[in-house]
Amino acid sequence: MAPALLGCVLAHETADGLVAVELTEVEAYTGATDPASHAYRGMTGRNAIMFGPPGHAYVYFTYGMHFCVNVVCMPEGIARAVLLRAGRVTMGESLARRRRVPRRLADGPADRPPPAVPARDLARGPARLCQALAIDRTQNGLDLCSAASELRLRPAGTSAGPVPARTVEAGPRVGISVAVDVPWRFWLSGDPTVSAYRPAKSRAR
DNA sequence: CGTCGGATAATCT
DNA sequence: GATTATCCGACGA
């Protein structure tokens, strides 16, 4: 499922408008067989959506300030999902840019405005992807395959043409402290929107 | 360019 | 009480 999601488009339609992101980087989490998965030790309040029907959004809050979104991808009862790690904004770029709020809000009046965010960085990383698309707890559990849903996933390629041929690479997942060698991170080879963060948290002390 | 510390709170043990 | 599927700004090369 995970590499198959590369090139697919996730779109969120809100009162502010529409933002769409073409997925360029994902990670697979296989629940009961994966020590790094939120569902490894069974169902909890947070991960319940992972145990539900496929095609739904599993959104979680982490590090006290960030949201990340997954696509549930196995039948009801089997908790497996794909984390959406990065993408390229294809629609609503100005809206996505407006949603990126600078971290320092309490600056003196003489301060210059913060530098503009490069377009390639708007959805580069799982929390930034959610920020560009305005995804938070409100979207947890939504059916991504329903035409009536505000948050929709559509297949790769467009009505104007087929899926462009691209190379997929695989490697270890990011930011986890167990199962660090399992190569379940997938990305489009050479794509500039793929996240380039340190492979593991340097919290050794 | 790379590396590092800090922010910040829900979730789980 | 510890950990966390992260990001940003500062600093040094």
Alpha-carbon distance of A24 to A124, in angstroms, equals 9
- For A131-156, write each residue's pLDDT tens digit: 999 999 999 999 999 999 999 999 98
User: Do you know the residue count of chain A?
Assistant: 205
Alpha-carbon distance of A130 to A122, in angstroms, equals 10
Give chain C positions with protein CB within 7 A: 3-9
- The pLDDT score that the predictor gives to residue A84 is 98
A82, A1 contact by CB (below 8 A): yes
Q: Which residue has the higher pLDDT, A196 or A15?
A: A15
The DSSP line for A56-113 is BEEEEEETTTEEEEEEE-S-TT---EEEEEEEEEEE-HHHHHHH---S-----TTPPP
- For A41-93, write each residue's pLDDT tens digit: 999 999 999 999 999 999 999 999 999 999 999 999 999 999 999 999 999 99
Give chain B positions with protein CB within 7 A: 2-5, 7-13
- Between the CA of A51 and the C1' of B10, what is the distance in angstroms? 20
A2, A186 contact by CB (below 8 A): yes
A100, A114 contact by CB (below 8 A): no
pTM above 0.75, yes or no: yes
